[in-house]
Amino acid sequence: MENIYFKLDAKINPEELSAVFRMSGLRRPYEDLNRLQKMIENADILVTAWENEKLVGVARAITDFSYCCYLSDLAVDNDYQKRGIGRELIRLVQEQIGEEVTLLLLASPIAMEYYPHIGFDTVNNGYIIPRKK
């Protein structure tokens, strides 16, 4: 991970987040900058990865800091994948929430093999009411 550094709660703008989502292949509303701004503002944890002044990765989480934490977004620019950046972003989220808090996520179909590789267990007892928009 040469030249990559990480920040907790860095000020990022929706354009930067949009670029990471677009370049990561993660399906997110990257064209809706107002929605991305709300996603930034309302995250409880925002960990970012940088090369110089370029945002190359992001982990965004919602948590009560006591019992559970939902990892809403883990995105790394395709040009920076397979370098351990995602793993480090998750480690830093875990550092923020501590050992008493369960970290959970919903994986995109293309990432189903990635998460068990970095320490997540697969669960079969989940349910979802999908968003309409």
127 is a domain residue = no
Q: How many domains does the chain have?
A: 1
* Token duo for residue 11: 């000020």
100 is a domain residue = yes
**Under 8 Å CB-to-CB from 127, ≥6 apart: which residues?**
none
* Residue 1, pLDDT score: 62
pLDDT in tens, the chain (133 residues): 679 999 999 999 999 999 999 999 888 888 999 999 999 999 999 999 999 999 999 999 999 999 999 999 999 999 999 999 999 999 999 999 999 999 998 877 777 778 887 888 888 877 777 778 7
Which domain does 97 fall in, by range?
4-117
**CATH code of residue 64:** 3.40.630.30
* Residue 129, pLDDT score: 75
125 is a domain residue = no
60 is a domain residue = yes
